[in-house]
Amino acid sequence: MTDRTVLISPSLLSCDFAEIARDVAMIEAAGADWLHVDVMDAHFVPNLTIGPPVVKAISRVATVPLDVHLMISEPAQYAEAFAKAGAYVLTFHWEVAPSTEAARTVIQAFRDAGIEKVGVSVKPDTPVESLTDILDEVDLVLVMSVFPGFGGQKFMGEVLDKVRWLRAQGYQGWIEMDGGINGETIAGCAEAGTDVFVAGSAIFGAEDIPGTITELRSTAAERMHVG
């Protein structure tokens, strides 16, 4: 049905922040395709994580692309800072720019800053149909399968309909799923049409990290080609 490639993007939110360089090297050696970096501002979400200086430090030691997920209220204002910090994919939330016009302004700010791949994300209670008029303008849609803010939450299976809808519209870009992905939940995501898989606790909490990434990849690849 498709020749899409599975991309595994481990979320550094679950790494040891006192040992970021060590964990980045470890997770890359274990097979990570991208590194997912969760930026939170304690305003859009009830948690506060890292900003451009730390992303820049990560990019200094990383050899795979940085997949930066902005959970912040003013993404356009920080586009340049994150571009300079080394973001490859930069994703903003539709909820902070909830109209076609407002979202286009953010997308343009990202492109003007030199971001290569622009992503837009929807929370579990935001209809994906809202994105209809900007689908042609983004490289990635990030479908949240938990409410953003924290790692280790339970996967919300009902969001798989959003992925199916996007593929039914003919959306050819990357569809990324984030929140509660593990060896069980990844199968349905892949079957629905997801090709980029974020996992934090399932990867960093595993005893055998390379084995877990290999297993996630093979389960996803198997299901992706069904139907």
93 interacts with Zn ion by CB under 5 A: no
31 binds, among Zn ion, ligand DX5, none (CB under 5 to 8 A by kind): none
- In the complex, the smallest distance separating the C-beta of residue 71 from ligand DX5, rounded to whole angstroms, is 6
| Of 46-54, 61-69, 113-121, 162-170: span binding Zn ion (CB under 5 A) | 61-69
Are the C-beta atoms of residues 11 and 148 closer than 8 Å to each other? no
41 is annotated as an active-site residue: no
Query: Which residue in 23, 33, 38, 41 is the catalytic one?
Result: 38
Q: Report the residue from 69, 93, 123, 223 that binds Zn ion according to the rule CB under 5 A.
A: 69
Binding site for ligand DX5 (CB under 6 A): 11, 13-14, 36, 38, 69, 146, 148-153, 178-181, 198-202
Binding partner at 199 among ligand DX5, Zn ion, none, C-beta below 5 to 8 Å by kind: ligand DX5
Q: How far is CA 58 from the centre of its chain?
A: 16
Catalytic residue list contains 178: yes
Restricting to residues 170-199, name those near Zn ion by CB under 5 A: 178
Q: Which does 124 bind (CB under 5 to 8 A by kind): Zn ion, ligand DX5, none?
A: none
Among 27, 30, 32, 38, binds Zn ion (CB under 5 A): 38
Q: Which residue is nearest to Zn ion (CB)?
A: 69
Taking the complex as a whole, the smallest distance from the CB of residue 164 to ligand DX5 amounts, in Å, to 21
Q: How far is the CB of 143 from ligand DX5 (least distance, A)?
A: 11
How would DSSP label each residue in the chain?
Answer: ---PPPEEEEBGGGS-GGGHHHHHHHHHHTT-SSEEEEEEBSSSSS-B---HHHHHHHHHH--S-EEEEEE-S-TGGGHHHHHHHT-SEEEEEGGGS-SHHHHHHHHHHHHHTT-SEEEEEE-TTS-GGGGGGGGGG-SEEEEESS-TT-SSPPP-GGGHHHHHHHHHTT--SEEEEESS--TTHHHHHHHHT--EEEESHHHHT-SSHHHHHHHHHHHHHHHHT--
List, by residue number, the catalytic residues.
Answer: 38, 178
